[in-house]
């Protein structure tokens, strides 16, 4: 997968960019969890989301926030990281000016950043928010949420209690004109240990429905 270096607001940013040939293919930006926890764009959840979107025909970019890996800068409490995400989306759009859809997906801290970017960029068609840290960060900026999307979390998540995510989802569902799908993964903890494949399958099912693609079962049967 091609490594890319692109300009960010506080120096260069390091990413992995996976392109498809069709000029009007959709694009997706994938955001990783809190850098202070020692994670990067190679986090397993982020990595699997990246490859899922590419399998579905998206040109996909994931990248390291400032201060992670070869990305320059230092952690900025989410303010600078939001600017980093905007720069990454600019890079992705510059390489895909005819993209027919634009999606954003984030895990934990990345979900918080992604939802803020969603509010600032009306071209974003939809979102996938994995284990959004509703008990740690203020999501009140989603008033109203501008796009339909998917929220996923593990039933056994002890870092972000499911009840907090349920309250977050219920607030979003009160807004007119959008559809928020909420999926809870049985037996899954915050990082979806031993349940990652189930979580990714759930994202794929949702995306196939949103994109008008055949369900996984039908496609697998056609290939058999």
Q: How many CB atoms lie within 10 A of CB 218?
A: 11
Contact 35, 68 (CB under 8 A): yes
| pLDDT the model gives residue 221 | 59
User: What pTM does this model have?
Assistant: 0.96
Whether the link from the prior residue into 144 is cis, omega within 30° of 0, is yes
List, edge to edge, every strand of the sheet that includes 149-154.
Answer: 3-8, 11-18, 59-63, 27-31, 102-107, 126-130, 149-154, 180-185
- Residue span of the structural domain in which 103 resides: 3-223
Q: What is the pLDDT of residues 94-147, one digit of tens each?
A: 999 999 999 999 999 999 999 999 999 999 999 999 999 999 999 999 988 999
Q: How confident is the model at residue 216 (pLDDT cuts 50, 70, 90)?
A: confident
The tokens describing 155, both together, are 């039933």
| pLDDT the model gives residue 172 | 93
pLDDT at residue 202 above 90? Answer: yes
Could you give the C-alpha distances from 167 to 91, 140, 146, 173, in angstroms and in order? 34, 12, 18, 10
Q: What is the pLDDT of residues 39-65, one digit of tens each?
A: 999 999 999 999 999 999 999 999 999
Lookup result for tokens 């369900």 = 215
What is the total count of domains within the chain? 1
| pLDDT the model gives residue 223 | 54
The least confident of 32-41, 172-181, 213-222 is 213-222
The tokens describing 66, both together, are 């400032």
Q: How many CB atoms lie within 10 A of CB 158?
A: 9
pLDDT at residue 74 above 70? Answer: yes
| pLDDT the model gives residue 141 | 94
CATH code for position 165: 3.40.50.1820
Q: What is the pLDDT of residues 151-189, one digit of tens each?
A: 999 999 999 999 999 999 999 998 888 999 999 999 999
Q: What angle do CA 137, 139, 144 make, to 5 degrees?
A: 175
The tokens describing 103, both together, are 């999606």
| pLDDT the model gives residue 81 | 98
| pLDDT the model gives residue 217 | 77
| pLDDT the model gives residue 175 | 85
Task: Please report the DSSP string for 38-50 in residue order.
Answer: T--TT-HHHHHHH
């Amino acid at each position: 997968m091609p490594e890319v270096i692109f300009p960010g607001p506080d120096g260069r940013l390091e990413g992995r960019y996976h392109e498809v040939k069709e000029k009007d293919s959709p694009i997706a930006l994938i955001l990783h969890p809190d850098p202070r926890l020692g994670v990067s764009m190679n986090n397993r959840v982020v990595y699997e989301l990246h490859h899922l979107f590419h399998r579905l025909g998206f040109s996909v970019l994931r990248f390291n926030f400032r201060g992670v890996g070869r990305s320059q800068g230092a952690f900025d409490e989410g303010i600078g990281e939001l600017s980093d995400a905007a720069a990454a989306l600019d890079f992705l759009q510059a390489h895909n000016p005819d993209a027919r859809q634009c999606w954003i997906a984030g895990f934990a801290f990345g979900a918080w950043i992604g939802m803020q970017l969603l509010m600032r960029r009306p071209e974003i068609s939809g979102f996938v928010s994995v284990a959004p840290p509703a008990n740690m960060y203020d999501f009140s900026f989603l008033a109203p949420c501008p796009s339909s999307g998917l929220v996923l979390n593990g039933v056994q998540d002890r870092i972000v209690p499911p009840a907090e995510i349920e309250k977050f989802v219920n607030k979003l569902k009160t807004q007119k004109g959008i559809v928020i799908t909420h999926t809870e993964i049985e037996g899954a903890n915050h990082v979806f240990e031993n349940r990652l494949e189930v979580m990714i399958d759930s994202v794929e099912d949702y995306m196939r429905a949103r994109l008008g693609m055949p369900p996984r079962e039908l496609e697998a049967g056609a290939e058999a």
